[in-house]
Amino acid sequence: MASIELRDVRKSFGSVEVIKGIDLTVEHGEFCVFVGPSGCGKSTLLRMISGLEQITAGDVVIEGEVVNRIPAADRGLAMVFQSYALYPHMTVRQNLSFGLENARVARADIRQKTEEVAKMLQIDPLLDRRPKDLSGGQRQRVAIGRAVVREPKVFLFDEPLSNLDAELRVGMRNEIAGLHRRLGNTMIYVTHDQVEAMTMADKIAVLRAGRLEQFGRPLDLFNRPENLFVAGFIGSPR
């Protein structure tokens, strides 16, 4: 059984169709990257998987179950955004444990889980600080940590590194790749950056104007692009 399957999924805003029928299968443990130019529908597609966006037609299937009518909170996924979306008035510890408190996890377990994840992401010395007293990279680690503590089946990342400077971005790329190796979860990672896609992905989905142009392993896309758009987008850094 696949981890995630999209069956002819579509999305319209008013009369404008922005996702125009996409079929895609993500296997368990795969690191799948959605790449494509700004406005092509990457975020919308990710939000359709997460349940933050209602789909107009088709099926989203998670672990063999059609989840079209299942609310986001019950899909077993966790999403990490570029804007961090940390709670400014809470400490790092509170930001990390907030989701678990909602899920009625025992207090001692929350503490242990929070500290374990903080250590894994090397933010354990920062547990008592507030987001405003953290660097961009540290904030992003907290945002990732907040997803990790919930032990989701699948991680969804929406351009998580685009607010970071180039040097930090490379470091965080390696961190996320390391997290994937350690946890072995299915991850879907949205970016408009070809280099990020080529270096991080097991599989790349190239999107253009709401359609899937090609889906496959990075080297296969590079060596055997199915059209000029894929060749241009994957082949030439810009």
User: Which residues make up the interface to ligand ADP (CB under 6 A)?
Assistant: 13, 18, 36, 38-44
**Nearest residue (CB) to Mg ion, 138 versus 194:** 194
Residue from 3, 43, 82, 191 touching Mg ion (CB under 5 A): that is: 43
Nearest-CA neighbor of 7 among 18, 21, 23, 20?
Answer: 23
**Which one of ligand ADP, Mg ion, none interacts with residue 18, CB within 5 to 8 A by kind?**
ligand ADP
**Nearest residue (CB) to Mg ion, 43 versus 97:** 43
The DSSP bridge pattern shows strands 154-158 and 77-81 to be parallel
Residue 138 interacting with Mg ion (CB under 5 A): no
Q: Which is it for the CA torsion 194, 179, 164, 45, positive or negative?
A: positive
Question: Which residue in the block uniquely carries the two structure tokens 């996890």?
Answer: 105
Residue 191 interacting with Mg ion (CB under 5 A): no
**Nearest residue (CB) to ligand ADP, 37 versus 171:** 37
**Which one of ligand ADP, Mg ion, none interacts with residue 39, CB within 5 to 8 A by kind?**
ligand ADP
C-alpha 70/C-alpha 220 separation (Å) is 35
Cβ count within 10 A of residue 28: 14
Residues that bind Mg ion (CB under 5 A): 43
